[in-house]
Amino acid sequence: MEKKAIAVERCETIVKIQKIIGGKWKIEILYYLSLRTRRFGELQRQIGEITQSTLTKQLRELEADGFVSRYIYQEIPPKVEYSLTDFGKSFVPILEQLKQWGKANLSKESQSAL
Q: Are 53 and 25 in contact (CB under 8 A)?
A: no
Q: For residue 80, what pLDDT is reported?
A: 92
Residue 48, Ramachandran bin (φ over 0: left; ψ between -120 and 50: alpha; else beta)? left
Give the chain's domains with CATH numbers. 16-101 (1.10.10.10)
Sign of the alpha-carbon torsion through 31, 70, 21, 88: positive
Q: For residue 39, what pLDDT is reported?
A: 95
Spell out the residues 6+ positions from residue 68 whose beta carbon is closer than 8 angstroms to its own: 29, 30, 33, 59, 62, 82, 83, 84, 85, 88
Q: For residue 108, what pLDDT is reported?
A: 67
Q: Find the helix or strand (DSSP H, E) in which 105 lies.
A: helix 92-105
Per DSSP, what are the bridge partners of residue 82? 38, 70
Residue-wise pLDDT tens for the chain (114 aa)? 566 767 677 888 888 888 888 888 999 999 999 999 999 999 999 999 999 999 999 999 999 999 999 999 988 888 899 999 999 999 999 999 999 998 888 876 665 555
Q: For residue 84, what pLDDT is reported?
A: 98
d(CA 28, CA 79): 22
Q: For residue 83, what pLDDT is reported?
A: 98
